Structure 1
Amino acid sequence: MIAGAALAWKSLPPAQRRMILILSAAVALANVAQPYPDLAPLQHGPTVILLLASPWLLRRWPLSNGSAACLLLFLLLHTLGARWIYSYVPYDRWSRALTGTDLSSHFGMARNGYDRLVHFSFGALWTMPVAQAARRYGGAGRGWSLAIAFAAIGLGSALYEIFEWLLTVVAAGDTADYYNGQQGDMWDAQKDMACAQVGSIAAVLLLLRRRA
Protein backbone atom coordinates (compact mmCIF):
# COMPACT_ATOMS: atom_id res chain seq x y z
CA MET A 1 0.00 0.00 0.00
CA ILE A 2 2.81 2.39 0.91
CA ALA A 3 4.64 1.52 -2.31
CA GLY A 4 1.46 2.13 -4.29
CA ALA A 5 0.95 5.50 -2.62
CA ALA A 6 4.56 6.47 -3.35
CA LEU A 7 4.15 5.45 -7.00
CA ALA A 8 0.94 7.46 -7.30
CA TRP A 9 2.67 10.49 -5.77
CA LYS A 10 5.65 10.27 -8.11
CA SER A 11 3.41 9.92 -11.14
CA LEU A 12 1.76 13.29 -10.56
CA PRO A 13 2.95 16.42 -12.36
CA PRO A 14 5.25 18.48 -10.11
CA ALA A 15 2.75 21.35 -10.04
CA GLN A 16 0.03 19.08 -8.68
CA ARG A 17 2.33 17.68 -6.01
CA ARG A 18 3.00 21.25 -4.90
CA MET A 19 -0.74 21.94 -4.79
CA ILE A 20 -1.28 18.97 -2.48
CA LEU A 21 1.50 20.19 -0.19
CA ILE A 22 0.04 23.72 -0.15
CA LEU A 23 -3.38 22.41 0.85
CA SER A 24 -1.85 20.13 3.49
CA ALA A 25 -0.02 23.09 5.03
CA ALA A 26 -3.21 25.19 4.95
CA VAL A 27 -5.23 22.52 6.77
CA ALA A 28 -2.49 22.16 9.38
CA LEU A 29 -2.31 25.93 9.95
CA ALA A 30 -6.10 26.19 10.14
CA ASN A 31 -6.02 23.89 13.15
CA VAL A 32 -3.37 25.77 15.12
CA ALA A 33 -5.07 27.21 18.22
CA GLN A 34 -8.36 25.99 16.78
CA PRO A 35 -11.18 28.25 18.08
CA TYR A 36 -13.87 25.56 17.64
CA PRO A 37 -12.17 22.25 18.44
CA ASP A 38 -15.43 20.33 18.87
CA LEU A 39 -16.45 21.03 15.29
CA ALA A 40 -13.03 20.96 13.63
CA PRO A 41 -13.20 17.24 12.73
CA LEU A 42 -16.54 17.75 10.96
CA GLN A 43 -15.23 20.75 9.06
CA HIS A 44 -11.75 19.52 8.12
CA GLY A 45 -12.23 15.74 8.08
CA PRO A 46 -13.48 15.50 4.47
CA THR A 47 -10.60 17.66 3.26
CA VAL A 48 -8.06 15.45 5.03
CA ILE A 49 -9.62 12.33 3.47
CA LEU A 50 -9.50 13.96 0.04
CA LEU A 51 -5.87 14.94 0.59
CA LEU A 52 -4.93 11.36 1.42
CA ALA A 53 -6.79 10.02 -1.61
CA SER A 54 -5.76 12.76 -4.05
CA PRO A 55 -2.55 11.16 -5.41
CA TRP A 56 -4.44 7.99 -6.29
CA LEU A 57 -7.45 9.89 -7.66
CA LEU A 58 -5.32 12.18 -9.83
CA ARG A 59 -3.32 9.23 -11.10
CA ARG A 60 -6.47 7.24 -11.90
CA TRP A 61 -8.33 10.21 -13.43
CA PRO A 62 -5.73 12.82 -14.40
CA LEU A 63 -6.78 16.46 -14.68
CA SER A 64 -4.99 19.42 -16.19
CA ASN A 65 -3.03 21.71 -13.89
CA GLY A 66 -5.65 24.39 -14.50
CA SER A 67 -8.49 22.17 -13.28
CA ALA A 68 -6.42 21.02 -10.30
CA ALA A 69 -5.71 24.67 -9.46
CA CYS A 70 -9.45 25.40 -9.48
CA LEU A 71 -10.01 22.59 -6.98
CA LEU A 72 -7.11 23.81 -4.85
CA LEU A 73 -8.49 27.36 -4.71
CA PHE A 74 -11.92 26.12 -3.68
CA LEU A 75 -10.48 23.88 -0.95
CA LEU A 76 -8.32 26.74 0.35
CA LEU A 77 -11.43 28.94 0.61
CA HIS A 78 -13.23 26.10 2.38
CA THR A 79 -10.33 25.52 4.75
CA LEU A 80 -10.30 29.19 5.72
CA GLY A 81 -14.04 29.13 6.36
CA ALA A 82 -13.83 25.84 8.22
CA ARG A 83 -11.45 27.30 10.78
CA TRP A 84 -14.17 29.69 11.93
CA ILE A 85 -17.08 27.30 11.12
CA TYR A 86 -18.04 29.77 8.39
CA SER A 87 -20.43 31.83 10.53
CA TYR A 88 -17.59 33.58 12.34
CA VAL A 89 -14.98 34.28 9.66
CA PRO A 90 -13.63 37.66 10.86
CA TYR A 91 -13.44 39.37 7.49
CA ASP A 92 -14.92 42.58 8.94
CA ARG A 93 -12.07 42.77 11.44
CA TRP A 94 -9.55 42.20 8.67
CA SER A 95 -11.22 44.83 6.49
CA ARG A 96 -11.19 47.42 9.29
CA ALA A 97 -7.51 46.75 9.90
CA LEU A 98 -6.70 47.26 6.19
CA THR A 99 -9.15 49.95 5.09
CA GLY A 100 -10.75 51.38 8.23
CA THR A 101 -14.22 50.14 7.28
CA ASP A 102 -15.98 46.80 7.44
CA LEU A 103 -17.47 44.92 4.51
CA SER A 104 -20.81 44.24 6.19
CA SER A 105 -21.56 47.94 6.56
CA HIS A 106 -20.29 48.72 3.07
CA PHE A 107 -22.47 46.09 1.39
CA GLY A 108 -25.39 46.23 3.85
CA MET A 109 -25.00 42.62 5.00
CA ALA A 110 -26.89 41.60 8.13
CA ARG A 111 -25.15 38.21 8.42
CA ASN A 112 -21.72 36.74 7.85
CA GLY A 113 -21.61 36.18 4.10
CA TYR A 114 -18.50 34.04 3.78
CA ASP A 115 -20.51 30.86 3.29
CA ARG A 116 -22.30 32.43 0.32
CA LEU A 117 -18.91 33.22 -1.23
CA VAL A 118 -17.79 29.61 -0.86
CA HIS A 119 -21.02 28.24 -2.33
CA PHE A 120 -20.60 30.59 -5.30
CA SER A 121 -16.98 29.46 -5.58
CA PHE A 122 -18.09 25.82 -5.56
CA GLY A 123 -20.06 26.46 -8.72
CA ALA A 124 -17.46 28.70 -10.31
CA LEU A 125 -14.40 26.56 -9.54
CA TRP A 126 -15.76 23.02 -9.91
CA THR A 127 -17.42 23.55 -13.28
CA MET A 128 -14.24 23.33 -15.35
CA PRO A 129 -12.83 20.20 -13.63
CA VAL A 130 -16.19 18.39 -13.88
CA ALA A 131 -16.60 19.40 -17.52
CA GLN A 132 -13.06 18.24 -18.27
CA ALA A 133 -13.73 14.88 -16.60
CA ALA A 134 -16.97 14.51 -18.57
CA ARG A 135 -15.07 15.07 -21.81
CA ARG A 136 -12.07 12.90 -21.00
CA TYR A 137 -13.74 9.98 -19.26
CA GLY A 138 -17.37 10.22 -20.33
CA GLY A 139 -16.85 10.98 -24.00
CA ALA A 140 -19.07 14.08 -23.86
CA GLY A 141 -18.67 16.87 -26.36
CA ARG A 142 -17.79 20.38 -25.27
CA GLY A 143 -21.36 21.61 -25.03
CA TRP A 144 -22.67 18.51 -23.28
CA SER A 145 -19.72 18.47 -20.89
CA LEU A 146 -20.59 21.98 -19.71
CA ALA A 147 -24.27 21.03 -19.35
CA ILE A 148 -23.27 17.96 -17.33
CA ALA A 149 -21.03 20.10 -15.12
CA PHE A 150 -23.83 22.62 -14.51
CA ALA A 151 -26.21 19.80 -13.57
CA ALA A 152 -23.57 18.14 -11.38
CA ILE A 153 -23.08 21.38 -9.45
CA GLY A 154 -26.81 21.47 -8.73
CA LEU A 155 -26.80 17.82 -7.65
CA GLY A 156 -23.74 18.29 -5.46
CA SER A 157 -25.24 21.36 -3.80
CA ALA A 158 -28.53 19.57 -3.12
CA LEU A 159 -26.79 16.49 -1.69
CA TYR A 160 -24.70 18.68 0.61
CA GLU A 161 -27.77 20.52 1.90
CA ILE A 162 -29.48 17.16 2.52
CA PHE A 163 -26.39 16.05 4.44
CA GLU A 164 -26.61 19.19 6.58
CA TRP A 165 -30.29 18.50 7.22
CA LEU A 166 -29.53 14.92 8.28
CA LEU A 167 -26.86 16.26 10.60
CA THR A 168 -29.45 18.39 12.35
CA VAL A 169 -31.50 15.23 12.90
CA VAL A 170 -28.75 13.18 14.51
CA ALA A 171 -26.52 15.84 16.12
CA ALA A 172 -27.12 17.94 19.20
CA GLY A 173 -29.06 21.11 18.47
CA ASP A 174 -26.31 23.63 19.14
CA THR A 175 -23.70 21.59 17.32
CA ALA A 176 -25.88 21.22 14.25
CA ASP A 177 -26.75 24.92 14.17
CA TYR A 178 -23.11 25.96 14.43
CA TYR A 179 -22.06 23.49 11.75
CA ASN A 180 -24.83 24.43 9.34
CA GLY A 181 -24.14 28.15 9.59
CA GLN A 182 -27.79 28.91 8.93
CA GLN A 183 -27.59 32.10 11.03
CA GLY A 184 -31.35 32.25 11.47
CA ASP A 185 -32.14 32.28 7.73
CA MET A 186 -34.92 29.79 6.95
CA TRP A 187 -34.05 29.96 3.23
CA ASP A 188 -30.33 29.40 3.77
CA ALA A 189 -30.22 26.09 1.88
CA GLN A 190 -32.02 27.47 -1.16
CA LYS A 191 -29.82 30.57 -1.27
CA ASP A 192 -26.68 28.46 -0.97
CA MET A 193 -27.76 26.29 -3.90
CA ALA A 194 -28.65 29.37 -5.93
CA CYS A 195 -25.19 30.86 -5.29
CA ALA A 196 -23.56 27.66 -6.55
CA GLN A 197 -25.67 27.66 -9.72
CA VAL A 198 -24.90 31.32 -10.39
CA GLY A 199 -21.20 30.55 -9.98
CA SER A 200 -21.51 27.64 -12.40
CA ILE A 201 -23.33 29.79 -14.96
CA ALA A 202 -20.53 32.35 -14.73
CA ALA A 203 -17.94 29.62 -15.30
CA VAL A 204 -19.86 28.16 -18.25
CA LEU A 205 -20.12 31.57 -19.90
CA LEU A 206 -16.42 32.20 -19.34
CA LEU A 207 -15.48 28.83 -20.81
CA LEU A 208 -17.73 29.38 -23.84
CA ARG A 209 -16.16 32.79 -24.39
CA ARG A 210 -12.72 31.25 -24.03
CA ARG A 211 -13.62 28.76 -26.75
CA ALA A 212 -14.78 31.56 -29.05
Structure 2
Amino acid sequence: MTPSTTPPNLLLITTGLLLVILLALSGWQPYDRATWLMEVAPIMIALPILVATRQRFPLTSLLYACIFIHALILMLGGAYTYARVPLGFQLQDLLHLGRNPYDKIGHFAQGFVPALITREILLRGHHVAGRKMLAFLTVCVVLAISATYEFIEWGAALALGQGADEFLGTQGDPWDTQSDMFFALLGAITALVAFSRLHDRQLRSLTRP
Protein backbone atom coordinates (compact mmCIF):
# COMPACT_ATOMS: atom_id res chain seq x y z
CA MET A 1 0.00 0.00 0.00
CA THR A 2 1.21 3.51 -0.74
CA PRO A 3 0.51 6.67 1.26
CA SER A 4 -1.17 8.25 -1.79
CA THR A 5 -3.59 5.35 -2.08
CA THR A 6 -4.80 4.83 1.45
CA PRO A 7 -4.40 7.43 4.22
CA PRO A 8 -1.94 6.69 7.06
CA ASN A 9 -3.44 5.57 10.34
CA LEU A 10 -2.77 8.91 12.06
CA LEU A 11 -4.71 10.81 9.39
CA LEU A 12 -7.61 8.37 9.60
CA ILE A 13 -7.68 8.53 13.39
CA THR A 14 -7.61 12.34 13.30
CA THR A 15 -10.35 12.44 10.66
CA GLY A 16 -12.43 9.96 12.63
CA LEU A 17 -12.13 12.01 15.82
CA LEU A 18 -13.04 15.16 13.89
CA LEU A 19 -16.09 13.38 12.52
CA VAL A 20 -17.19 12.35 16.02
CA ILE A 21 -16.75 15.93 17.28
CA LEU A 22 -18.74 17.37 14.38
CA LEU A 23 -21.42 14.73 14.91
CA ALA A 24 -21.73 15.75 18.56
CA LEU A 25 -21.93 19.43 17.59
CA SER A 26 -24.63 18.72 15.03
CA GLY A 27 -26.67 17.02 17.73
CA TRP A 28 -26.10 19.67 20.39
CA GLN A 29 -29.24 21.65 19.67
CA PRO A 30 -30.80 20.29 16.47
CA TYR A 31 -34.04 21.68 15.12
CA ASP A 32 -35.74 18.35 15.80
CA ARG A 33 -34.04 15.65 17.86
CA ALA A 34 -35.85 12.68 16.29
CA THR A 35 -35.13 13.95 12.78
CA TRP A 36 -31.46 14.46 13.63
CA LEU A 37 -31.19 10.91 14.93
CA MET A 38 -32.78 9.42 11.81
CA GLU A 39 -30.65 11.53 9.48
CA VAL A 40 -27.29 10.76 11.13
CA ALA A 41 -28.07 7.08 11.80
CA PRO A 42 -26.07 6.03 8.69
CA ILE A 43 -22.97 7.70 10.19
CA MET A 44 -23.44 5.93 13.50
CA ILE A 45 -23.70 2.63 11.65
CA ALA A 46 -20.89 3.19 9.14
CA LEU A 47 -18.24 4.65 11.45
CA PRO A 48 -17.82 1.55 13.68
CA ILE A 49 -17.77 -0.66 10.57
CA LEU A 50 -15.02 1.45 8.98
CA VAL A 51 -12.99 1.29 12.18
CA ALA A 52 -13.47 -2.47 12.56
CA THR A 53 -12.49 -3.23 8.95
CA ARG A 54 -9.64 -0.72 8.65
CA GLN A 55 -6.87 -3.31 8.94
CA ARG A 56 -8.25 -6.20 6.91
CA PHE A 57 -10.12 -4.18 4.28
CA PRO A 58 -8.73 -0.63 4.02
CA LEU A 59 -10.46 1.56 1.47
CA THR A 60 -8.94 3.89 -1.08
CA SER A 61 -8.24 7.45 -0.01
CA LEU A 62 -10.77 8.64 -2.60
CA LEU A 63 -13.50 6.61 -0.94
CA TYR A 64 -12.57 7.70 2.58
CA ALA A 65 -12.69 11.35 1.47
CA CYS A 66 -16.08 10.90 -0.19
CA ILE A 67 -17.51 9.16 2.87
CA PHE A 68 -16.30 12.04 5.06
CA ILE A 69 -17.97 14.64 2.81
CA HIS A 70 -21.18 12.61 2.71
CA ALA A 71 -21.17 12.46 6.51
CA LEU A 72 -20.91 16.26 6.64
CA ILE A 73 -23.92 16.56 4.33
CA LEU A 74 -25.93 14.21 6.54
CA MET A 75 -24.97 16.03 9.75
CA LEU A 76 -25.90 19.43 8.34
CA GLY A 77 -29.23 18.09 7.14
CA GLY A 78 -29.83 16.47 10.51
CA ALA A 79 -29.01 19.58 12.50
CA TYR A 80 -31.28 21.94 10.57
CA THR A 81 -33.56 19.41 8.81
CA TYR A 82 -33.09 19.32 5.05
CA ALA A 83 -35.82 21.84 4.34
CA ARG A 84 -34.15 24.47 6.59
CA VAL A 85 -30.43 24.24 5.81
CA PRO A 86 -29.16 27.82 5.22
CA LEU A 87 -27.03 26.72 2.25
CA GLY A 88 -30.17 25.43 0.62
CA PHE A 89 -31.90 28.78 0.99
CA GLN A 90 -28.90 30.49 -0.60
CA LEU A 91 -29.07 28.10 -3.55
CA GLN A 92 -32.83 28.63 -3.74
CA ASP A 93 -32.34 32.38 -4.09
CA LEU A 94 -29.41 32.04 -6.47
CA LEU A 95 -31.19 29.61 -8.81
CA HIS A 96 -34.67 31.12 -8.34
CA LEU A 97 -36.13 27.82 -7.16
CA GLY A 98 -39.48 27.28 -5.49
CA ARG A 99 -38.09 25.22 -2.61
CA ASN A 100 -34.96 24.57 -0.56
CA PRO A 101 -32.92 22.12 -2.71
CA TYR A 102 -30.50 20.90 -0.03
CA ASP A 103 -32.17 17.48 0.14
CA LYS A 104 -31.28 16.98 -3.53
CA ILE A 105 -27.63 17.49 -2.62
CA GLY A 106 -28.09 14.76 -0.04
CA HIS A 107 -29.65 12.38 -2.53
CA PHE A 108 -26.99 13.16 -5.13
CA ALA A 109 -24.39 12.15 -2.53
CA GLN A 110 -26.53 9.11 -1.73
CA GLY A 111 -25.87 8.00 -5.29
CA PHE A 112 -22.32 9.29 -5.67
CA VAL A 113 -20.69 7.68 -2.63
CA PRO A 114 -22.46 4.29 -2.72
CA ALA A 115 -21.49 4.04 -6.39
CA LEU A 116 -17.80 4.18 -5.47
CA ILE A 117 -18.32 1.83 -2.52
CA THR A 118 -20.11 -0.68 -4.74
CA ARG A 119 -17.49 -0.36 -7.44
CA GLU A 120 -14.68 -0.96 -4.97
CA ILE A 121 -16.32 -4.03 -3.46
CA LEU A 122 -17.16 -5.55 -6.85
CA LEU A 123 -13.66 -5.00 -8.25
CA ARG A 124 -11.69 -6.07 -5.20
CA GLY A 125 -13.84 -9.15 -4.75
CA HIS A 126 -13.49 -10.03 -8.45
CA HIS A 127 -17.27 -10.31 -8.65
CA VAL A 128 -17.44 -8.81 -12.13
CA ALA A 129 -14.88 -8.34 -14.89
CA GLY A 130 -16.55 -6.49 -17.76
CA ARG A 131 -16.54 -2.70 -17.43
CA LYS A 132 -20.01 -2.27 -18.90
CA MET A 133 -21.45 -4.86 -16.55
CA LEU A 134 -19.58 -3.23 -13.66
CA ALA A 135 -21.18 0.14 -14.41
CA PHE A 136 -24.61 -1.44 -14.88
CA LEU A 137 -24.50 -3.35 -11.60
CA THR A 138 -23.15 -0.32 -9.75
CA VAL A 139 -26.05 1.83 -10.91
CA CYS A 140 -28.51 -0.96 -10.06
CA VAL A 141 -27.15 -1.23 -6.51
CA VAL A 142 -27.34 2.56 -6.07
CA LEU A 143 -30.97 2.62 -7.22
CA ALA A 144 -31.75 -0.29 -4.88
CA ILE A 145 -30.22 1.64 -1.97
CA SER A 146 -32.15 4.77 -2.94
CA ALA A 147 -35.42 2.81 -3.18
CA THR A 148 -34.77 1.21 0.21
CA TYR A 149 -34.24 4.65 1.73
CA GLU A 150 -37.56 5.79 0.26
CA PHE A 151 -39.20 2.71 1.82
CA ILE A 152 -37.73 3.80 5.17
CA GLU A 153 -39.20 7.27 4.68
CA TRP A 154 -42.54 5.71 3.81
CA GLY A 155 -42.40 3.59 6.96
CA ALA A 156 -41.55 6.66 9.04
CA ALA A 157 -44.51 8.49 7.56
CA LEU A 158 -46.84 5.61 8.42
CA ALA A 159 -45.45 5.22 11.93
CA LEU A 160 -45.08 8.88 12.91
CA GLY A 161 -47.74 10.59 10.84
CA GLN A 162 -47.24 14.36 10.87
CA GLY A 163 -44.19 13.87 13.06
CA ALA A 164 -42.29 12.51 10.06
CA ASP A 165 -42.67 15.71 8.00
CA GLU A 166 -39.25 17.04 8.98
CA PHE A 167 -37.59 13.72 8.12
CA LEU A 168 -39.37 13.42 4.76
CA GLY A 169 -38.63 16.99 3.73
CA THR A 170 -40.97 16.83 0.74
CA GLN A 171 -41.90 20.52 1.05
CA GLY A 172 -45.21 19.82 -0.65
CA ASP A 173 -43.65 18.22 -3.74
CA PRO A 174 -45.81 15.24 -4.87
CA TRP A 175 -42.91 13.92 -6.98
CA ASP A 176 -40.30 14.16 -4.25
CA THR A 177 -39.68 10.40 -4.12
CA GLN A 178 -39.10 10.14 -7.85
CA SER A 179 -36.83 13.19 -7.96
CA ASP A 180 -34.84 11.86 -4.98
CA MET A 181 -34.11 8.64 -6.84
CA PHE A 182 -33.30 10.57 -10.01
CA PHE A 183 -30.69 12.65 -8.17
CA ALA A 184 -29.20 9.47 -6.72
CA LEU A 185 -28.98 8.14 -10.27
CA LEU A 186 -27.25 11.35 -11.38
CA GLY A 187 -24.81 11.01 -8.49
CA ALA A 188 -23.94 7.45 -9.44
CA ILE A 189 -23.40 8.33 -13.10
CA THR A 190 -21.28 11.35 -12.17
CA ALA A 191 -19.09 9.25 -9.89
CA LEU A 192 -18.54 6.62 -12.59
CA VAL A 193 -17.81 9.13 -15.34
CA ALA A 194 -15.63 11.50 -13.33
CA PHE A 195 -13.71 9.21 -10.98
CA SER A 196 -13.46 5.71 -12.47
CA ARG A 197 -9.91 6.22 -13.76
CA LEU A 198 -8.64 7.71 -10.50
CA HIS A 199 -10.43 4.97 -8.59
CA ASP A 200 -8.81 2.31 -10.80
CA ARG A 201 -5.33 3.74 -10.17
CA GLN A 202 -5.83 3.78 -6.44
CA LEU A 203 -7.24 0.26 -6.47
CA ARG A 204 -4.23 -1.05 -8.41
CA SER A 205 -1.85 0.52 -5.90
CA LEU A 206 -3.93 -0.68 -2.97
CA THR A 207 -3.89 -4.31 -4.08
CA ARG A 208 -0.28 -4.33 -5.27
CA PRO A 209 1.94 -6.49 -3.01
Q: Tell me which interval the TM-score lies in, with the shorter structure as reference length.
A: 0.7 to 0.9
Aligned twin of 2:103: 115
Within the candidate set 143, 146, 151, 1:162 is matched to 151
Aligned partner of 2:181: which letter?
M
Instruction: Supply the distance in 2 between the matched residues of 1:121 and 1:152 (Cα, whole angstroms).
Output: 14
Aligned twin of 1:86: 82
CA shift, 1:139, in A, is 3.4
Deviates more, 1:68-77 or 1:123-132: 123-132
| 1:26-65 equivalences in 2 (<5 Å) | 26-65=22-61
**Please, what is the CA RMSD of the aligned residues?**
2.3
SS at match of 1:87: helix
The C-alpha deviation readout for 1:89-127, integer Å capped at 9, x for no partner, is: 12267xxxxxxxx43232111111000011112222332
Instruction: Supply the distance in 2 between the matched residues of 1:13 and 1:142 (Cα, whole angstroms).
Output: 33
**Higher RCO (Cα < 8 Å, 6 or more apart):** 2
Shift in CA distance, 140/194, structure 1 to aligned 2, threshold 3 Å: same
Percent identity of paired positions between Structure 1 and Structure 2: 26
CA shift, 1:14, in A, is 2.9
Aligned partner of 1:50: which letter?
A
Aligned partner of 2:141: which letter?
A
Aligned twin of 1:6: none
Instruction: Supply the distance in 2 between the matched residues of 1:145 and 1:16 (Cα, whole angstroms).
Output: 29
CA shift, 1:209, in A, is 5.7
1:176 aligns with 2:164: yes
Aligned partner of 2:18: which letter?
I
Aligned partner of 2:106: which letter?
V
Give the TM-score normalised by the residue count of structure 1: 0.80
CA shift, 1:140, in A, is 2.4
CA shift, 1:60, in A, is 4.5
Q: Which runs of 5+ in 2 are unaligned?
A: 1-7, 202-209
Aligned residues: 192
CA shift, 1:68, in A, is 1.3
SS at match of 2:136: helix
Instruction: Supply the distance in 1 between the matched residues of 2:182 and 2:34 (Cα, whole angstroms).
Output: 30
Aligned partner of 2:156: which letter?
L
Aligned twin of 1:97: none
SS at match of 2:30: coil
Note if contact 1:70-1:126 (Cα within 8 Å) is conserved in structure 2: no
| 1:165-204 equivalences in 2 (<5 Å) | 165-171=154-160, 173-204=161-192
Note if contact 1:116-1:195 (Cα within 8 Å) is conserved in structure 2: yes
